[in-house]
Amino acid sequence: MSHNNAPTLVLLPGMDGTGMLFEPFRACLGDDLRVQIIPYADQAGAGYDQLAEYVAPLLPPSPFILLGESFAGPLAILLAAKKPPGLRGLVLAATFARSPRPWARHLSSLVPLMFMSRAWAHASLPFLIGNRAPRALRQSYMEAVSGIGNAALRGRLAATLSVDVSSSLALTVVPLLCLRATRDVLVPQAATEHIHATRPDSILKAVDGPHGILQSNPQACADHVRDFIAANVCRKSVQRHQGLRNQ
């Protein structure tokens, strides 16, 4: 896959919204794939619809693959459903199309009481990137997650409790790769099964690791994404070009 004909891989970060935690994954992708990160950390109280309005103008006009990680999965789905002209594929990593814990909606009244602290960020670390994560990654995680403001935390938690973009997912037509973390305690396997039921043609890949698979197992994720682009995006682009040339 050469840099010249490969589409840009556009990355939408998880709940922290910074994009800081993509570095391990980005390093494993190599230099022949263009990568664009669209952060939204400054969009504190925005829900999914508002985030989609913010991100849409930032998408490249040239061919691109859209990847939504964790919290950003529904955001990526909403954007893909609008069928931007450059979109060639969709990747959903450790994420969901509807609230991954429906029973938690009953706890929505407690969201305004939640606050972010460094202690909370440290307590969540094992569930998101694992206890064996390299020291540099743990430091990056602490910096990114503990930097989430209380307004952003509450807004994004509330959004995940009520989200259901299943109808938007059904409208997407580009090739879809879904990466599931095998040891995910935040997003259950049922969330991936729902995505596949909505888009039966989606490609499912299980990746060993906790919820943050792009951080804890970046090489496996990078391999799956590169294979997906080569087989389902670049090859179809070549076939489409040959078909036009033969007309």
CB 219 within 8 A of CB 28: yes
Note the pLDDT of residue 108.
41
Given a cut of 80, whether residue 103 has pLDDT beyond it is no
Determine the Cα–Cα distance for residues 229 and 220; give it in Å rounded to an integer: 14
Cβ density class 23-35: b for 16+ within 10 Å, e for less = bbbbebbeeebbe
Determine the Cα–Cα distance for residues 31 and 36; give it in Å rounded to an integer: 13
Mean pLDDT, range 94-108, rounded to an integer: 68
Helix extents (H) in the chain: 23-29, 48-55, 73-81, 118-128, 135-146, 150-162, 166-171, 189-198, 213-216, 218-229, 235-246
Band (pLDDT 50/70/90 cuts) for residue 44 is: confident
Model pTM score? 0.85
Note the pLDDT of residue 140.
81
Q: What percent of the chain has pLDDT over 70?
A: 79
CB 92 within 8 A of CB 65: no
Amino acid at 193: E
Note the pLDDT of residue 3.
53
Given a cut of 80, whether residue 169 has pLDDT beyond it is yes
Q: Which of 34, 33, 39 is nearest to 13 (CA)?
A: 39
Band (pLDDT 50/70/90 cuts) for residue 5 is: low
Note the pLDDT of residue 112.
38
Averaged pLDDT score across all residues of the chain: 83
Determine the Cα–Cα distance for residues 147 and 222; give it in Å rounded to an integer: 27
Note the pLDDT of residue 137.
79
> Which residues are bridge partners to 206 per DSSP?
180
CB 82 within 8 A of CB 56: yes
Sheet with 176-181: list strands edge to edge: 35-37, 8-12, 64-69, 87-93, 176-181, 203-207
Q: Which range is least confidently modeled, 25-29, 68-72, 125-129?
A: 125-129
CB 99 within 8 A of CB 161: yes
Q: What is the CATH number of domain 8-246?
A: 3.40.50.1820
Determine the Cα–Cα distance for residues 51 and 49; give it in Å rounded to an integer: 5
Band (pLDDT 50/70/90 cuts) for residue 61 is: very high
Burial of 156 (0-12, 13-18, 19+ CB in 10 A): buried
